[in-house]
A and B are shown apart, each in its own frame.
Chain A
Amino acid sequence: MLRADNVSFSYGGPAAAGLNAPNVVHGVSAEVSKGRVVGILGPNGSGKTTLLRLLSGTRRPSSGEVLLDGTPLHRLSRRAIARRIAVVAQETQLAFDYSVMEMVLMGRHPHLGMFELEGPADVAVARAALRATGTTHLEERQFNTLSGGEKQRVVIAAALTQSSDILLLDEPTASLDLGYQLEVAALVTRLNRDRGVTIAISTHDLNLAASVCQELVMMRDGRVIASGPVAVVLTPDNVRRLYDVHADVRVHAASGHLVVVPVARVAPEP
């Protein structure tokens, strides 16, 4: 289980702290329970990405702690964390051209010794990840020649190759068209259901969150305004507090999950 305990964070580091750099995350507590899919929801700039970085240990909170099964992340080495937690970043830009297989095999990094090269067992893990993401046919392609949706799935495959039990996805559908959005959503559901991967996914897409998540953490201006099971917290009231939007929330008969239909922009609450 991964838990953020009253964490705060501001960019700028210790030198800037004296200048009162604004916190982008204030006193946030959130929990990603084993085997669950947790959505971190909020408008742009609400601190979702920063919270994910704190949860993955790539940034250290200025106060509070992130605990992985009770151990503070900062006590663990980067390698040890990477064997438990994998991250799919919002965008991956390559300075040099790697093939899809090379990209995916880089996920084995935390499992290899200093001078060890990947062996057949590592390649097998990578191939399984390519199969799970439906990208087997892309294995020989150069990553930079792929479409946005293909890239995103390959990046997810690279994260799966890390063989970690927790997967953090940062806005995985933000730059994808509807078809790819559905594919990624289906992939998240499959990974959770079939492989038991614990998943946290940041998004501003309420309907995506409603379709794949079991629990939600709603963030605005760096604070959590609501959290809990989807059916409990995904309410018109909370949507309004989150986005200043009046919305209809109802169960969609065909899909069986909640859908949010934005109706009108409203004035922010005082």
Chain B
Amino acid sequence: MNVRRRLAVVVPVFGAITALVLLIAPTLGSTRISLTNVFDTSIPWADNVDAQIFFVARVPRVLAGALVGAALAAAGVVLQALLRNPLATPFTLGVSASAALGAMLAIAFDLDMTVMGAAAVPAASFAGSLVGTAMVYLLATRANKALSTNVLLLAGVTLNTFFSALITFVQYLIDFADWYRTARWLLGNLDVSSFNPILASIPLIGVSFLLFALLPRALNLLTLGEDVAAARGVDIGRAQRIAFLSASFATGAAISLAGPIGFIGVVVPHLVRLLVGSDHRVVLPASILFGAAFLVMCDLIARTVMSPIELPVGIVTAMIGGPVFIWLLLRKS
């Protein structure tokens, strides 16, 4: 089936599934709510508990899940093609640990003010991701003018380890209450409880998605090797720079919104490839849609499985993602 027909089938089908999940997810949860009450404007807001749960807790949480899932899945697709490795994740290249360190420092120093309308911890986390991205990028481009994906991988893995050590160091020094906050943050959590953080991250993730749109055909060719891609007319230096920077940007924005939620970036692209093939012009939009639906569903499980306790969604994605990752590893070798 050619790419036009495949897109014409895949995008509506995945879009419909995602829309359905996004519509149903806010109606379900550990507390049963009445939809009639939620949309009943005759009840004053202060007395309408159902509406408060729906609009303050659930809808923002579902939207955050959709945004983060879409961003991490797409970043995973892009980085896997860039590194020519289906096991690469959005966190492989150092962005996650540097973003986490930013958040840890904000928590440790009790930065609670808002920076340009954004809360301190997400802002610090996003700043951290930019620092990490810049460091990896400079390392990878230092040796020669072109971006070396081998150096990129080594630099990313090394910085991840280094920043993780710094995180442990910070955690060791802080008091118990702050330590608890850092530990909870590191588990990943979509409980944003307001629309503001979502509005702050939409432009950031939006910019990366616009950049992703430039990439799919170049990504197809990059997976055949740099020389082949160049000989087919791809400006590989440009494509690799856009791929790395946009994927890192999306990952940084996602982490600052919800903490480092693992496995989405490798599980979703892989499942999508099993369903639609490897052409990135199909895989990328399908992963964006499926990533949104997948994380919202994982979060639905997290919110309800041990009701009334709400688990951090990172635990659920790891429990699903770990086995899938191992299966992938075994299948590959």
Contacts and interface: CB of A to CB of B under 8 A. Distances in A.
Interface residues of A, number: 39
B161 interface: no
Interface string B235-246: 110000000000
Interface in B305-326: none
B214 interface: yes
Contacts of A57: 230
Given A14-B144, A79-B235, A87-B227, 10 more contacts: A13-B144, A85-B231, A86-B231, A89-B231, A94-B223, A95-B86, A106-B224, A109-B217, A114-B214, A118-B3
A77 interface: yes
The 6 closest A-B pairs by CB, nearest first: A82-B233, A110-B233, A13-B144, A87-B231, A95-B84, A96-B278
Given A15-B144, A95-B85, A95-B223, A78 B279 contact: no
B32 interface: no
A61 interface: no
Contact of B281 (A79, A98, A117): A117
A173 B217 CA distance: 29
Interface of A: 12-15, 53, 56-58, 77-79, 81-83, 85-87, 89, 92-99, 102-103, 106-107, 109-110, 112, 114-115, 117-118, 123, 162
Contact of B233 (A13, A15, A53, A81): A81
B225 interface: yes
A58 B230 contact: yes
Given A13-B143, A99-B277, A109-B221, A77 B235 contact: yes
B266 to A, nearest CB: 14
Contacts of B7: 117
Contacts of A81: 233
Interface of B: 2-4, 7, 80-81, 84-86, 143-145, 213-214, 217, 220-221, 223-225, 227-228, 230-236, 273, 277-279, 281
Contacts of B144: 12-15
A107 B233 CA distance: 9
B281 A162 contact: no
Nearest to A170: B227
Given A14-B144, A115-B213, A106 B231 contact: no
* Interface SS of chain B: loop
Contacts of A14: 144-145
B277 to A, nearest CB: 7
Nearest to B144: A13
Contacts of A99: 277
Contacts of B235: 77-79
A58 to B, nearest CB: 4
A239 to B, nearest CB: 30
A215 to B, nearest CB: 23
Nearest to A101: B2
Contact of A98 (B80, B86, B279): B279
Contacts of A56: 231
A93 B232 contact: no
Nearest to A110: B233
B4 A117 contact: yes
29 contacts: A15-B144, A58-B230, A78-B230, A78-B234, A79-B233, A82-B232, A82-B233, A83-B233, A87-B227, A87-B231, A89-B227, A89-B231, A93-B224, A95-B81, A95-B85, A95-B223, A96-B81, A98-B277, A98-B278, A106-B232, A107-B232, A109-B232, A109-B233, A109-B234, A112-B217, A115-B213, A117-B7, A117-B281, A123-B2
Nearest to A83: B233
B84 A15 contact: no
Contacts of A118: 2-3
Given A79-B233, A115-B213, A96 B223 contact: yes
Contacts of A89: 225, 227-228, 231
B227 A58 contact: yes
Contacts of B232: 82, 106-107, 109-110, 162
Contacts of B281: 117
B86 A82 contact: no
A15 B143 CA distance: 7
A83 B233 CA distance: 8
Nearest to A79: B233
A93 B277 contact: no
Given A13-B144, A102-B279, A106-B232, A92 B225 contact: yes
B271 to A, nearest CB: 14
